[in-house]
Amino acid sequence: MSTIDPRVDIGHVHLKVSDLERSVSFYRDVLGFEVTQRYGDRAAFLSAGGYHHHIGLNTWESAGGPPPARGTTGLYHFAIRYPDRLSLADALRRIVNAGVGLQGASDHGVSEAIYLADPDGNGVELYRDRPEEEWPRTPDGAVAMATLPLDLMELLGELESSGEL
């Protein structure tokens, strides 16, 4: 069996939402993405850095609909990777300032992650990878991920020490 080309990457996510304006506000005003295109009041596309879109939001099949019921299949969460610890700290600051509740925060050894839900209950992971040379490994060299608490106050301290606060 052949494996997938290691250069393959996941490019964007499309989410069915119940209220387009509420979701655009969350992804634009709280997380900081830019709206790159809209299809009237039914769909919007958002990006970081001018890419055509990282997040697509639409109400084509879901306007006014409830979130999926617990215990059903579907999206657990999608992840947004930040380039460094300072950028992740800034994302945390934005979330705290917006009054958005967190569902968790973990140090996985290979990465640091913050978990929350968007207004429709879609799971969102905000994370940054540690450099590969810092990843914990077993004696035989395998990656040894963990789930440890992430110190959010220390993470926010990155902003203060950088002069960003």
Fold match flag (12-63 vs 76-165): yes
Q: Is the pLDDT of residue 165 over 70?
A: no
What is the domain partition of the chain in residue ranges? Answer: 12-63, 76-165
What is the band of 69 on the pLDDT scale with cuts at 50, 70, 90? confident
Q: Is the pLDDT of residue 161 over 80?
A: yes
Task: Let me know the angle formed at the C-alpha of 80 by 21 and 155, rounded to the nearest 5 degrees.
Answer: 105
State the pLDDT at residue 55: 97
The predicted model gives 134-163 an average pLDDT of: 95
Assign a CATH topology to domain 12-63.
2,3-Dihydroxybiphenyl 1,2-Dioxygenase; domain 1 (3.10.180)
Distance of CA 63 to the CA centre of its chain: 23
What is the band of 56 on the pLDDT scale with cuts at 50, 70, 90? very high
Distances (CA, A) of 51 to 11, 55, 162, 163: 10, 10, 27, 29
Q: What is the pLDDT of residues 72-96, one digit of tens each?
A: 988 889 999 999 999 999 999 999 9
What is the side-by-side strand order in the sheet with 78-82?
Answer: 78-82, 123-129, 111-117, 104-107, 148-149
What is the band of 2 on the pLDDT scale with cuts at 50, 70, 90? confident
Assign a CATH topology to domain 76-165.
2,3-Dihydroxybiphenyl 1,2-Dioxygenase; domain 1 (3.10.180)
Q: Is the pLDDT of residue 162 over 90?
A: no
State the pLDDT at residue 81: 96
DSSP tag of 132? G
The predicted model gives 56-72 an average pLDDT of: 93
